[in-house]
Amino acid sequence: MKSLTAVFCTCLLCACAAVRPDHYYILSSQPPGEIAPRSASARQVLLRVSLPSLVDRPEMVLNTTGDAVTVLEHERWAASLTELAAQTLGQDLERRRADLLVMGPELSHPGGAALKVTVEVVQVTARRGKQVSIDAHWRISDVLAGKEWAGGDVFNAPLAEEDYAAVARALSDCLGLLADRLIAQLPPGQ
């Protein structure tokens, strides 16, 4: 009986020692740096972003071969990936146009936003050692002018490094490329 207890305790200690720590990642706005303060006359932009449920999860998801994915239990996003993407894209837009004040649906009030931007990320693909890509569709509505624009494209960023932080950097780069495209379609300031 003592030897069975000793074996059980040894197995329990080995299991505790083998626990891998979790690593957490965020997205970064591009280009890096501080965002200039906005004036009271900045145009308000209501930004909504959606991502597929396959990747909007705490764990990082990488594509392998064919239609297979790997869900990395210990490589995790620090918050909802949809929230991180919306926050980062909003900062990217503000960095590119000083006359914009981007807010999410939770901060806006009815009739407050002059522009509404809805982005649906249809697919996110991340292949270690290759690239990260996002396939996105968007709709831009100028509430005051009553005009709308729509578009869609695939944005790619190389993933030369093998560490998981490189996946977050490449996804940030893809969002920066998307911001460039959105800025090109946004109506000029008034």
Average pLDDT of span 108-137: 87
Which residues 6+ apart lie within 8 Å of 160 measured at CB? 129, 166
Average pLDDT of span 8-16: 54
Q: What pLDDT, on the 0 to 100 scale, is given for residue 20?
A: 78
Contact of 150 with 137, CB cutoff 8 Å? yes
pLDDT at residue 26 is higher than 70: yes
Q: What is the pLDDT of residues 141-159, one digit of tens each?
A: 998 888 999 999 999 999 8
Q: What pLDDT, on the 0 to 100 scale, is given for residue 31?
A: 79
Contact of 59 with 53, CB cutoff 8 Å? no
Catalogue all structural domains in the chain, each as residue range(s) with its CATH number. 2-185 (3.40.50.10610)
- In which residue are the tokens 């560490």 written? 163
Mean per-residue pLDDT over the chain, rounded = 86
pLDDT at residue 56 is higher than 70: yes
Q: What pLDDT, on the 0 to 100 scale, is given for residue 188?
A: 80
Write out the DSSP string of 135-176: EEEEEEEETTTTEEEEEEEEEEEE--S-SHHHHHHHHHHHHH
Query: What percent of the chain lies above the pLDDT cut of 90?
Result: 58
Q: pTM for this one? A: 0.84
Query: What percent of the chain lies above the pLDDT cut of 70?
Result: 82
- In sign, the C-alpha dihedral spanning 169, 27, 119, 188 is negative
DSSP 3-state of 72: strand
Tokens of 128: 């270690």
